[in-house]
Structure 1
Amino acid sequence: MSDDVTPENEPAATDATAPPARKPGRKPLILVALTLLFAAFTIGGRYFIIELEDLVGISMDVLNVITLFGTAALLLGWAGWALLMSGWRWPQRIAVAVLLIGLPMGFLSLFRPVGGGDIDFLRFEPVWTKRAQPAALTDDAAVVTVDLKTETPNDFAQFLGREQTGSVDAQIDPEKFADSPILWKQTIGLGWPGFVARNGFAVTMEQRGVNECVSCYRIDDGTLVWLYEHPARHRDAMNLGHVGPRSTPTIHDGKVYAVGAVGNLVCLDGADGTPLWQVDLNELLEIELAETTDNDGLTVQYEANTSLAWGRSNSPLIVDDSVIIGGGGPREGTKATLMAFDLQTGELKWRGGDEMIAYGSPTIAAVSGIRQILMTAESKAMGFDPKTGDVLWTFERSGDSDGGANTSQLSVVSETDVMTTKGYPGGGGERIRLNVDGEKITPESVWYNASVLKTKLTSPVIYDGHGYSLSNGFMESTDLSDGTRNWKQRGRFGHGQILLVGDKILIHSESGTLHLIDASPEEYHEYGEIKTIDGICWNTLCLYGSKLLVRSDLEAACIDLPMLSQPAADAVAPENPEP
């Protein structure tokens, strides 16, 4: 046998230059299953969002956030599998991992998410996009005569209108609604206040740089006619509520009353915005302010020793010769639910209640024959004596002033009943009857339904025994006799705002589309929609005659609506209702 012949029972020689065989990688069965389940949940959730919201309370904004973070988690999971368990050659592993992680990070370095309401997001925009600045005062402003003392039938001079119910006694022509022209549109300072209007002028609050401002505009053309500036800039510690003031001002007897997000209460001359008096609520309530720096490199403040995470949102209420505002106070210390100040001097007249405040505003009404101030505090619905601030009654209501906040108005639904509504955990609607025995008021629950009236950043409107609301982002109708739902409509409404005008409802969506629907329990019937403004439209609506004023944190606009009728010439604001 020759030397170069290999015996049959011996293995062939191995080529020393050949690469070693790769071990097979682990199959990503778990990742594949998770990816398919996640895709089915997020895609299917959009088709069955109403059922999903009914079942587990997940609205579209929450679903969007789940989609965003879930996608990020899956990309990291796939990148980890490629690096550690794929069994591929290292150049392949690294290339795939870089693509899975690097491409999204590269995209986010060029495009930033534009936040929607709360935890939602609307779209992406280039990082180099610069926001236009609001108009400055001009020399022409000095020649404009501003008269906020003369009342007109069209006035909308306080938060949510004449009766603080989010309603106007007028009629819109539904057939011509979709053709309503936008008379003007312009940039405005940051913030969440709505407009109030009197005698052809509109007032709001806005953030301009380091100054928190009260501003007055001419309604016909949007001209800025005066501007009051106060050095303050609010933002919550987590930057979920964004920058700027929150409270809608009040116009009364030619003056403007406004509350800043970090405690500046001011009374202004309505003719030119000159301060007549102002009060530092932080000093009165022993509130400490903390500071940080926002995305613009500017110093922002927030309440450090209280649970009021999102800033002061309570609008001033005028009762007799007093202006009533929400108070608050430190976590460990004395609190005042309401505070009353003299209209002319700003002198403190009384403090009422010791409950922490939330984000709704006080209202005045006669319920069960008793004139009282109504407000939902942090975790109680409450009634107060308007002359003394004494607490007349309280009713436990789930909530806190941080995560599960009460933001909606306490609504009057009959001569004897009020209603609380709420989004967030523990939300839903509850009808409360105020039983009177002598001087004692005893509240009792008529019904409670956690599935309806989940008003997160808005309040319901009431028409003909039915409540209409943006309930966790869905438009909804509820029978107020028993709390059952009439109908529920999906749409990109988000946490926008609504206004009842006669027997029609205006819906201004969070993303800036205006809808007109019937106030009917039978079905959702829409007459059309109009694209209005950019930005996040949390701000309440203001209707002055045929002029609808809308705003967001970026823009303001005036839409001329086709009206069939407007408020009667003898209409007066019932600022002090009697039983």
Structure 2
Amino acid sequence: MRFFIYCLLTIFCTTSLCQAGNWPQILGPYRTGHAAEETLDSAWPETGPPVKWQRGVGSGYAGLSVYKNKAILFHRVGDLETVEALDTQTGEPLWKQTTPVNYKGTFNPNDGPIAVPLIHKNRVYTFGIAGNLQCLDLETGKKIWSRDTHKEFQVGQGYFGVGSTPIIVEDKLLVNVGGKRKNAGIVAFSLDKGFTLWQAMKDDASYSSPTSAFLHGRFYAIFITRLYLVGVDPQNGNIMFQFPFGKRGPTVNGADPVMIGNYVFATASYGVGGFWGKIDRANASEVWRNQQIMSSQYTTPIEYGGKLIGIDGRQDIGTSRLICFDPQTQKVNWAQDNFGYATLLEADNKLIIMKTDGTLVLAEASLEAYKELGRAQVFNSTTRALPALSNGLLFVRDEKTLKCLQLKSENPAPVTPEKSPLK
């Protein structure tokens, strides 16, 4: 796995700021749920990890992104979609940028942004719930450019508004826009001015965020749209492979695609299930589809040692389990039944699991068995936003409160001579 992460580091440093301690986009520096060079405590106090600071927030499910001493919060306050830069140590605001929004949820009452902010080369890119795509200066919050993608590309509202975080590949901002009437399911924008560079796909948007891979000497942008899993050439928008994925009707694709070598995994609930495909130099092929192993409503599984660890089930109906399985053989290594729905990330060979019931869980990242190290009731409300981890600080939020939790002791206990590795 470490070799795999090294390869990802090489790839994703072309698309994001990957220094240790940064969490510049959805699912961390590599979009894999893995943190870079973090060291965490192996146990928590009985009361849970200390709260370094907390503050109120507006509506929305967008998790934070972090670069150096700035945490970028994207939420809705009144009729304004608001981007704020916060000092990671104190929570004090450094700047604020607002944009009017009149979106009202129909299928779901949430009216705030869902997509995680993206930080790249001193810029912040946000994709609002009603399709407002904008670029801000990271130091000042000044607006550099913006596009009303729903108006320009004739995009419908969808079930929950916009929920896909854009990605940067080869100096282009690639966005799951969903403008099928304009052949603009996926659109590439220039980073500096926001100009349209190309558009492709006659499909609606999903709530899945794209990833990228460097295979066979070239970059691929991997998207899950409303009804397809596709590989796109980031240079020109040419479709390099395409598989049916998803169903019509009241269904969504929410989990991000996961790359393991030249294989890709996708998962969804609503009778869709898991998909495992192989990307060769000349083509791509389906290896298997299966609803029984992992059908996750929106949680992206984590690759660990060539296996996948994630949630099988839904938040709203039935039960959910946490499982570890081998996508090559479809064999389940272990399963924690009735675990409950959750999102998760990995750091220091530990799983940090944020359950939607507000419980935070720490467990070993293991291929053999589930071993819990600690848990704490962080919120007493439904918690959907993805956590962000930076320099031992975990940023978690529900729809009312943002908390900065300390997962690494500021003054760790000294190692006793008897336990010293040098003895």
Shorter-normalised TM range: 0.7 to 0.9
Q: Among 438, 446, 466, which residue is 2:307 paired with?
A: 466
Aligned equivalent of 1:395: 243
Counterpart residue type for residue 91 of structure 2: G
Q: Among 321, 345, 351, which residue is 2:171 paired with?
A: 321
The answer to whether 1:379 aligns with 2:227 is yes
Q: Choose 1 or 2 for highest CA Rg.
A: 1
Aligned equivalent of 1:575: none
Aligned equivalent of 1:339: 187
How far apart in 2 are the matches of 1:471 and 1:335?
33
2:183/2:199 contact within 8 Å kept: no
Report % sequence identity. Answer: 25
Alignment deviations for residues 248-280 of structure 1 (CA, whole Å, 9 cap, x no partner)? 111111111101111111111112212111111
Q: Among 63, 74, 77, which residue is 1:205 paired with?
A: 74
How far apart in 1 are the matches of 2:141 and 2:257?
31
How far apart in 2 are the matches of 1:221 and 1:513?
24
2:136/2:142 contact within 8 Å kept: yes
1:503/1:518 contact within 8 Å kept: yes
How far apart in 2 are the matches of 1:458 and 1:361?
11
Aligned equivalent of 1:430: 275
Structure with greater helix percent: 1
Root-mean-square deviation (Å): 2.1
1:512/1:537 contact within 8 Å kept: yes
Alignment deviations for residues 152-177 of structure 1 (CA, whole Å, 9 cap, x no partner)? 52111111111100111334332347
Counterpart residue type for residue 554 of structure 1: K
SS in 2 for 1:221: coil
Q: How many residues align?
A: 387
SS in 1 for 2:182: coil
Quote how far apart the aligned CAs of 1:335 are: 3.3
Q: Among 191, 198, 212, which residue is 1:364 paired with?
A: 212
How far apart in 1 are the matches of 2:340 and 2:260?
25
How far apart in 1 are the matches of 2:326 and 2:29?
25
Quote how far apart the aligned CAs of 1:451 are: 1.3
How far apart in 1 are the matches of 2:409 and 2:198?
44
TM-score (norm 2): 0.86
Structure 1 residues 563, 198: closer, same or farther in 2, change over 3 A? Answer: same
2:274/2:294 contact within 8 Å kept: yes
Alignment deviations for residues 495-533 of structure 1 (CA, whole Å, 9 cap, x no partner)? x31001132111111021110112223222101102213
Quote how far apart the aligned CAs of 1:487 are: 2.4
Q: Among 254, 262, 269, which residue is 1:407 paired with?
A: 254
Moved more, 314-323 or 463-472: 314-323
The answer to whether 1:530 aligns with 2:376 is yes
How far apart in 1 are the matches of 2:285 and 2:337?
33
The answer to whether 1:224 aligns with 2:93 is yes
Structure 1 residues 150, 516: closer, same or farther in 2, change over 3 A? Answer: closer
Aligned equivalent of 1:262: 130
How far apart in 2 are the matches of 1:370 and 1:399?
31
Aligned equivalent of 2:417: none
How far apart in 1 are the matches of 2:231 and 2:52?
42
Higher relative contact order (CA 8 A, sep 6+): 2
Counterpart residue type for residue 411 of structure 1: V
2:308/2:327 contact within 8 Å kept: yes
Structure 1 residues 233, 511: closer, same or farther in 2, change over 3 A? Answer: farther
The answer to whether 1:274 aligns with 2:142 is yes
How far apart in 2 are the matches of 1:520 and 1:241?
38
Aligned equivalent of 1:103: none
How far apart in 2 are the matches of 1:399 and 1:150?
35
Counterpart residue type for residue 329 of structure 2: D
Alignment deviations for residues 542-563 of structure 1 (CA, whole Å, 9 cap, x no partner)? 1101001111122110111127
Aligned equivalent of 1:510: 356
Aligned equivalent of 1:450: 291
Quote how far apart the aligned CAs of 1:236 are: 3.0
Instruction: List alignment gaps of at least 5 residues for structure 1.
Output: 1-148, 289-302, 565-579
TM-score (norm 1): 0.64
The answer to whether 1:234 aligns with 2:75 is no
Aligned equivalent of 2:392: 546
Structure with greater strand percent: 2
Instruction: List alignment gaps of at least 5 residues for structure 2.
Output: 1-15, 314-319, 411-423
SS in 2 for 1:508: strand
Aligned equivalent of 1:154: 21
